[in-house]
Structure 1
Amino acid sequence: MEITLLKVHGSMNTFYLLEGPENDHYDQLAVQLAKMDSSVDGLLVVLPSDKGQAKMRVFNRDGSEASMCGNGLRCVARYVCERDGLDEAVIETMKASLAVKKEQPLGDGNAMYAVEISPVSFQLADLPMVYEGNSEWLMKPLPFISEEIAFSAVAVPNPHLIGIVPKAYLQDDSHQKKWAETFNGPNGYFSDGVNVSYVTKVETGIFVKTFERGVGFTNACGTAMTASALISCLSGMVPYGEVTVYNPGGMVKCRVEKEGADFNLALSGNATYLSRHRFEWAEELANSKFLSSETFDEQEDYERFIDKVAVKAKQFV
């Protein structure tokens, strides 16, 4: 079967994007594409929806399905808005229908989109996480990991374990790798695995490095960056409002607003098109192949943007 794929990225969190009908085998396609192209983190599928302009499904490199992806949602937002001639839309995801909108380009004309991140839960049962009968875990050490790292657990709705760390933990990621691999293998704490992010304060915001469930270390994870901004605000490390978040793939803006006991979160950043492909999709990997490819020049604009605006990111990678 011949299909059309767009290769896209948000903060260098890179995906193939496909518009199509519901199909029980998109997980297999995600695995095939990951084996054929080591640079991609997964597959975004744009589907019809009766709750908004489109529905998004997200498949990781290993074929597992994620409930949300903030970087991927920006790319889907661009695709749907350009397809339908809109500046704003509603995209259905696994657990919520989320508002997205086009923003003014930054730097050298990079397409920018803002997306809602919701729902937010601090209940360990929603990750799920089990630890000594606790119902929440916010801004305190997990002693079996480290006495000096304040950890917080939050679902947005993807499950995240956020550690606020000294800079040295980001320059040598062996500690993060050890525990992220532990929590995403057989373990007694996270039955479905968890995204593990280490966060530190920088001069103009925060820097986040994420080990993503089903992927491994990634250039950026949208929900992780948003969850990290939320925890950084809760801890008093940065003020509420717009938080600049640097990552190995670049920089985004996260808006964190508190209304009583509730939080409103949004993620704003690039949605870059890298290439378009005709792809022959077969059941067996050996019979699947790229038929033709067209490369866009948007990555050059993005790299100029990073050089000018997100220089803080480079000190950690």
Structure 2
Amino acid sequence: MKLPLWKCHGSGNDFILINEYEAILFSEEERVTLSQAFCDRTGKLGADGLLFFQNSERADGKMRMFNPDGSEAEMCGNGLRCIGRFACEQFHTDSVSIETLKGVSQVVRDKPIYKGVETYQAELNTISLNIKDIPIAMTSKSLIDQALPELATGLTFTAVSMPNPHLVSIVSQIYDTTLQEIGEKANQLTTLFPKGVNVNFCQIIDEAAIYVRTYERGVGLTQSCGSGMSASALVYCLLGYYPFSKSIEVYNRGGLVSCQATVSHHQHSVLLSGNATFMFSNTIEFDFPNINLMTAYCDHVFVEEIQNYGRLLEYSEGLINNFRFE
């Protein structure tokens, strides 16, 4: 079969996007196979995840996101912005509602986070602090700034369902090797985290600015994680470092985003604003089960978008160098 697809990214967290809005093209088993093949960095494409844009009875469209190991994620903040942009351009509008596995989120075109960078704001509104929603095999109702001796010593964690599961630790310095070790260990501790968990290290770089690094369940260390940055911004406010309802700049390996955490009647939400960059469009020719024998035909490269995003990276790196890390 011949399949058109798009390569896109939010904060360097890159995805292959497949449009199934008019018709469902693949079975559930085939989605797993596609995600494993298309996301393979040693193959012809390579990505952090595979996005499917589908029709919805509850919203303007639906997002499904599969990790490189074939597992399906409940939420993906960076992917949601990319899907939101794709839907807005398909429907010729600046605002769409997108159904995810756990709810409906609004995605709107936002003012550019940097000159020439297409920017979209996604609402993450299915958030819970109840450990049953993560889940964690503990007797307490929540885990807020507490130690997990089974996982690590000298660190405290806060657990948040975004609704995909997240642990956030505020640290004085981020070390990739430590995060990798803790992330891997957390996802091996199925007695504690039966569905696995994303692990985030959050470093304070200024009163209204944090730096976040994420170990993603089913992926590993990535350039950024939209729901992880949102969870970290929420925890930053929850622990009293910064007031709710004010924007926080969140820096990452892939640039920066803006997060605004809010709370109303004990319900939390986060507005996540950042780039939704298209890199190229391709047509892939393949057949099951020999999907690895695919042939890729390049249709279009979004050169200007790639260049503008590169300037954003330089800008964010320059800002980080001006901060005094604590």
TM-score normalized with structure 2 length? 0.91
Q: Residues of 1 paired with 2:298 and 2:120: CA distance?
A: 29
Counterpart residue identity of residue 185, structure 2: T
Counterpart residue identity of residue 192, structure 1: K
Counterpart position of 1:136: 142
1:95: how far off?
0.6
Counterpart residue identity of residue 120, structure 2: Y
The answer as to whether partners of 1:195 and 1:211 remain within 8 angstroms in 2 is yes
Counterpart position of 2:291: 285
The answer as to whether partners of 1:108 and 1:302 remain within 8 angstroms in 2 is no
Q: Which moved more, 1:203-212 or 1:306-315?
A: 306-315
1:209 aligns with 2:213: yes
1:296: how far off?
1.1
Counterpart position of 1:160: 166
Q: Residues of 2 paired with 1:286 and 1:151: CA distance?
A: 41
Q: Which moved more, 1:13-22 or 1:235-244?
A: 235-244
1:84 aligns with 2:91: yes
Q: Residues of 2 paired with 1:195 and 1:19: CA distance?
A: 27
Q: Structure 2 unaligned segments of length 5 or more: list them.
A: none
Counterpart residue identity of residue 160, structure 2: V
1:49-79 superposed Cα distances (whole Å, 9 cap, x missing partner): 1111111100111111001100000001110
SS at match of 1:257: strand
Q: Which moved more, 1:92-101 or 1:235-244?
A: 235-244
Q: Residues of 2 paired with 1:105 and 1:51: CA distance?
A: 29
1:48 aligns with 2:55: yes
Q: Residues of 2 paired with 1:263 and 1:286: CA distance?
A: 43
RMSD: 1.8
SS at match of 2:39: helix
SS at match of 1:49: coil
1:190 aligns with 2:170: no
1:146: how far off?
4.1
1:265: how far off?
1.3
1:266 aligns with 2:271: yes
Q: Which moved more, 1:57-66 or 1:37-46?
A: 37-46
Counterpart residue identity of residue 262, structure 2: E
1:7 aligns with 2:13: no
The answer as to whether partners of 1:248 and 1:313 remain within 8 angstroms in 2 is no
Q: Residues of 2 paired with 1:247 and 1:37: CA distance?
A: 26
Change in CA separation of 1:181 and 1:300 when aligned onto 2, cut-off 3 Å? same
The answer as to whether partners of 2:17 and 2:50 remain within 8 angstroms in 1 is yes
Q: Structure 1 unaligned segments of length 5 or more: list them.
A: none
Which of residues 230, 237, 248 is equivalent to 1:226? 230
Counterpart position of 2:262: 257
1:148: how far off?
3.1
1:37: how far off?
4.7
1:292: how far off?
3.0
Counterpart residue identity of residue 217, structure 2: R
Change in CA separation of 1:233 and 1:139 when aligned onto 2, cut-off 3 Å? same
The answer as to whether partners of 2:226 and 2:272 remain within 8 angstroms in 1 is yes
SS at match of 1:233: helix
Which of residues 291, 315, 322 is equivalent to 1:308? 315
Q: Which moved more, 1:31-40 or 1:16-25?
A: 31-40
1:176: how far off?
1.6
SS at match of 1:219: coil
1:227: how far off?
0.5
1:276: how far off?
0.5
Counterpart residue identity of residue 181, structure 2: K
Q: Residues of 2 paired with 1:200 and 1:302: CA distance?
A: 24
Counterpart residue identity of residue 17, structure 1: L
1:39: how far off?
4.5
Q: Residues of 2 paired with 1:209 and 1:313: CA distance?
A: 14
Q: Residues of 1 paired with 2:44 and 2:297: CA distance?
A: 14
- Aligned pairs, number: 312
TM-score normalized with structure 1 length? 0.93
1:221-246 superposed Cα distances (whole Å, 9 cap, x missing partner): 11110000000001122232211111
1:116 aligns with 2:123: yes
The answer as to whether partners of 2:151 and 2:185 remain within 8 angstroms in 1 is no
Q: Residues of 1 paired with 2:125 and 2:172: CA distance?
A: 29
